[in-house]
A and B are shown apart, each in its own frame.
Chain A
Amino acid sequence: MAARVKELIEAANKQSMQRILDAQPTWVDVQPAREFIPGFADNLILIAGPTLDPKEAKTPTRNSICGAAVHEGLAKDMAQAWQMVLAGEIIVEPLQGHLSAGGAGYAVSASTPVQVALDPLSGARGCCAFQEGNSPESLRWGMYNAAIEKKLSWLREELGPVLGAAIRGSEGINIRNILARAESMGDENHSRQVAASGLLLQQLIPLVMDVNCAEKTRSEVVKFLCGNERFFLHIFIAGVVAVMEAAKNVEYSTVVVGFGGNGTDFGIKVSGMGDEWFSAPCPSSKGMLLNPEWTEADTSRYFGDSCIVETYGFGGPSAAAGPMVVRLYGGNFDDAMQRTEDYREISLGSHDWAPIPWMGYQGPPVGIDIRKVIATGIAPTIHGGIGHVNGGQAGAGAMIVPMECFVKALKAFGKKYNIG
């Protein structure tokens, strides 16, 4: 019995890993969420992390939901929006499960422009809304006000159509090619993507120059893109969603295909377990805060789906490639190298196409196996921003995924497949 189960798991994991390792995530389009995501109801708001009872939502997540509802015209103000959520007139569901994932607490409504990625090998697609810019005050960090509404409207009315036309006028931009080069340029590609964003612009700006639009709009778009060194991240997230869509739903596979937090709970998804979340109370990140007067008491618990990039070998698994990120919480070069080695212990493969020169040209580890996490006792460390408890970005750092998520997943796996 045990030998048979082991064989089935190993064959399934090989299949999931093949899809992850071979994928060529490519940015191909920008569309309103309702046009890309099947069955997007007018009163639907999608948020990061596992399934959440809105009554349990913390302030930043609540602000994002209500801000998106007002932006969409579903409610006249935040208070009315919240009442509609509690009354079930506005439906809140996780982004992951709707071919999407969100950077931080970005709440997506029907008209939100989303960047669409395709893996041409599998045909799988995924999407993610725009990275809004550098301000710590934004919808994705759990804030909403007149200035943020102005930015959201600009993203929808100006940036979305221009970038949509630009990218549709090309063969698409291969995300993996950018990652491959940025891995040896100091990016770990979750908290830092300075090189990747620059490499993206080399391909994107010429496309924008060819779009038929008002010169004033083009000028604003180019200035926005060039002033935002993190713009690549949300395109990358869309690409990872496409990859994980290809890798998921492989019966008996123990490979992790989803990570996400909503400020209340943190959850993981496992390929062989369909769209089920395995969640635990969400920890806080430890790191560097933007205001020296703030302490951990001012920080929210982790919210965001950007950590899905960790399931694809970037962020924490690529810490050695971006050791400056580890400085955010007082670590050093050796700590960065160790973080990558820790991931190697719990992963099934590595991205040989993204060599890290100072690690013997090995690529970052990829394909987290829930069995290995529990057997080694090494829980993955994820990178990312830190939210303020009242909304807004408080800083950036790292968080350890609760072991409870993996133990719950393993037990459910055993039950589903009648093991033991």
Chain B
Amino acid sequence: MSAKTRELFAADIVAINVGTEFFADSLRKQGVEVEQVEWRPPAGGDKEVARLLELMGM
């Protein structure tokens, strides 16, 4: 383990949670600082639309 990695584990953890906030809540209850990122799958998870978006450069 490098010195930099050891330094990371010794520091206070700040988590970034993407999407479902349930996981952020769980960490907050353990006293962990969490930054929540609002994210939803494109088109509500419609696979056809997601594939089209990808093919169309998104």
Contact = CB atoms under 8 A, between A and B. Distances in A.
- Chains A and B are bound partners: yes
Interface of A: 1-2, 5-6, 9-10, 254, 371-372, 374-375, 377, 403, 407, 410-411, 413-414, 419-420
Contacts of B43: 374, 403, 407
Interface string B45-56: 010110111111
Interface of B is mostly: helix
Given A1-B55, A5-B56, A420-B55, 11 more contacts: A2-B54, A10-B57, A371-B58, A372-B58, A374-B42, A374-B53, A374-B58, A377-B40, A377-B42, A411-B49, A413-B52
A5 B51 CA distance: 13
B56 A419 contact: yes
27 contacts: A1-B55, A2-B56, A2-B57, A5-B55, A5-B56, A5-B57, A6-B57, A9-B56, A254-B56, A371-B53, A371-B56, A372-B58, A374-B43, A374-B49, A374-B53, A375-B53, A375-B58, A377-B40, A377-B42, A407-B46, A410-B56, A411-B48, A413-B52, A413-B56, A414-B52, A414-B56, A419-B52
Contacts, number: 53
Contacts of A410: 49, 52-53, 56
B42 A375 contact: yes
A413 B57 CA distance: 14
Contacts of A403: 43
A371 B57 contact: yes
Given A377-B42, A407-B46, A419 B55 contact: yes
B44 to A, nearest CB: 8
Interface in B6-58: 40, 42-43, 46, 48-49, 51-58
Contacts of B42: 374-375, 377
B45 to A, nearest CB: 11
A350 to B, nearest CB: 20
Contacts of B58: 371-372, 374-375
A2 B57 CA distance: 7
Contacts of A407: 43, 46, 49
A371 B55 CA distance: 11
Residue of B40, B46, B48, B52 with most chain A CB atoms under a 10 A cut-off: B52
A2 B46 CA distance: 19
Residue of A1, A2, A375 with most chain B CB atoms under a 10 A cut-off: A375
Contacts of A375: 42, 53, 58
B47 to A, nearest CB: 11
B3 to A, nearest CB: 40
A143 to B, nearest CB: 39
Contacts of A411: 48-49, 52
A249 B48 CA distance: 25
A358 to B, nearest CB: 26
Contacts of A371: 53, 56-58
Contacts of B53: 371, 374-375, 410
Residue of A374, A411, A420 with most chain B CB atoms under a 10 A cut-off: A374
Contacts of A1: 55
B55 A2 contact: yes
A380 to B, nearest CB: 16
A10 B55 CA distance: 12
Residue of A254, A413, A420 with most chain B CB atoms under a 10 A cut-off: A420
Residue of B40, B48, B58 with most chain A CB atoms under a 10 A cut-off: B58
Residue of B42, B51, B54 with most chain A CB atoms under a 10 A cut-off: B42
B56 A6 contact: yes
